[in-house]
Amino acid sequence: MERRKIHSQGPTLSRIVAGAWRWHTVSAETVERLTLVALEHGITSFDHADIYGDHSNEETFGLTLAKNPSLRNKMELITKCDIKFPSAKRPATWVKHYDTSKEHIIWSAENSLKMFHTDRLDLLLIHRPDPLLNPYEVAEAFSSLKKDGKVLHFGVSNFTPSQFRMLQTHLPFPLVTNQIEISLSRLDPFFNGDLDLMIELGVSPMAWSPLDGGKLMANEREMFGKATKYSASYSQLALAWLLKHPSNIFPVIGTTQPDRIKEAAKAIDIKLDRQDWFEMLKWVMGKELP
């Protein structure tokens, strides 16, 4: 598996990242198995959020790290903060909202460290743009976490280009990614300036739901010819399609099946021809390009 810096001053990650959003639907043993299979196939970067599995997924993943502490140095841990929602685990929250206060960012990062049984996060993302975001406070929180060695790098998720630039202007170090939804079903970032900004700033995007949560597989029959040409499955082609883009997209896959992790890892070896890339685009757009 190829490893690449997500930004010249950012962490080196595996080009395909394993996402843990759905991992509360399987047992702790399967989470351990998914982690080991990912590592074995070169997927060393794991994407979490404080809230996944109603605030339980980081803790379950942490069980694997507590049991196998040597794994920590073989992986990169990414997590997110700022979404709060009513939950028995968070009794003080009565309405879903975002919180990018200095106090909450630091509390959330430190809590993630505890859940993971680790002393550092490789990358912390602001999960969703907060209309009350005060960039000076975020800068203070990030700087404090960085100075203490608790978080090595920072980024954002679901930010528009103007939100990204606004926050970046106030930080003494670069945001290294914007994790956004990109797939053959979610084409806007190719045309609305999201990916243009990433290229302009040398920031690689992370693509969440690269298979549209599995819904892409409904088009599988259309892609049969291409799958045969590349000796690949449709899910591999859909990942290879993202990997070809010059912004250096890092797809974050969401499967809960070890065999599908293995399969996804092989997508890195597929080099799609330019015309095949455009033909796949034409199929999902349902029309010729202008």
Ligand X SMILES: NC(=O)c1ccc[n+]([C@@H]2O[C@H](COP(=O)([O-])OP(=O)(O)OC[C@H]3O[C@@H](n4cnc5c(N)ncnc54)[C@H](OP(=O)(O)O)[C@@H]3O)[C@@H](O)[C@H]2O)c1
Active-site residue numbers? 52
Binding segment (CB under 6 A) for ligand X, from list 62-70, 241-249, 251-259, 282-290 = 251-259
> DSSP 3-state assignment of 156?
strand
- The verdict on 235 binding ligand X (CB under 6 A) reads yes
Closest Cα partner for 31 from 92, 125, 116?
A: 116
Instruction: Indicate which single residue of 28, 36, 71, 217 sits in contact with ligand X (rule: CB under 6 A).
Output: 217
Per CB under 6 A, contacts with ligand X among 9-28 are 19-22
Nearer to ligand X, 140 or 283 (CB): 283
How many alpha carbons lie under 13 Å from residue 186 in its C-beta half-sphere?
Answer: 17
Cross-strand partners of 253: 18
CB of 9 to ligand X, least distance (A): 22
Nearer to ligand X, 143 or 256 (CB): 256
Going 146 to 150 to 152 to 154, the CA torsion angle's sign is negative
Distance (Å, rounded) from C-alpha 91 to C-alpha 275? 54
Binding segment (CB under 6 A) for ligand X, from list 86-94, 166-174, 195-203, 205-213 = 205-213
CB of 234 to ligand X, least distance (A): 7
Size of the site for ligand X (CB under 6 A): 24
Distance in angstroms between the alpha carbons of the first and the last residue of the chain: 36
Nearer to ligand X, 27 or 69 (CB): 27
Nearer to ligand X, 65 or 206 (CB): 206
- The verdict on 225 binding ligand X (CB under 6 A) reads no
Binding segment (CB under 6 A) for ligand X, from list 58-66, 90-98, 213-221, 222-230 = 213-221
- The verdict on 69 binding ligand X (CB under 6 A) reads no
Distance (Å, rounded) from C-alpha 160 to C-alpha 75? 29
- The verdict on 254 binding ligand X (CB under 6 A) reads yes
- The verdict on 179 binding ligand X (CB under 6 A) reads yes
247 token code pair: 């912004």
Torsion of CA 135, 139, 142, 144, to 10 degrees: -140
Degrees to nearest 5, angle at CA 208 with 157 and 13: 80
- The verdict on 232 binding ligand X (CB under 6 A) reads no
Going 101 to 102 to 105 to 108, the CA torsion angle's sign is negative
Nearer to ligand X, 140 or 266 (CB): 266
CB of 259 to ligand X, least distance (A): 9
CB of 245 to ligand X, least distance (A): 16
> DSSP 3-state assignment of 16?
coil
Q: What is the DSSP string of 73-142?
A: GG-EEEEEE-EE--BTTBTT--S-EE---HHHHHHHHHHHHHHHT-S-BSEEEE-S--TT--HHHHHHHH
- The verdict on 98 binding ligand X (CB under 6 A) reads no
- The verdict on 168 binding ligand X (CB under 6 A) reads no
Binding segment (CB under 6 A) for ligand X, from list 62-70, 113-121, 249-257, 272-280 = 249-257
> For binding to ligand X (CB under 6 A), which residues are involved?
19-22, 47, 157-158, 179, 208-214, 217, 235, 252-257, 260
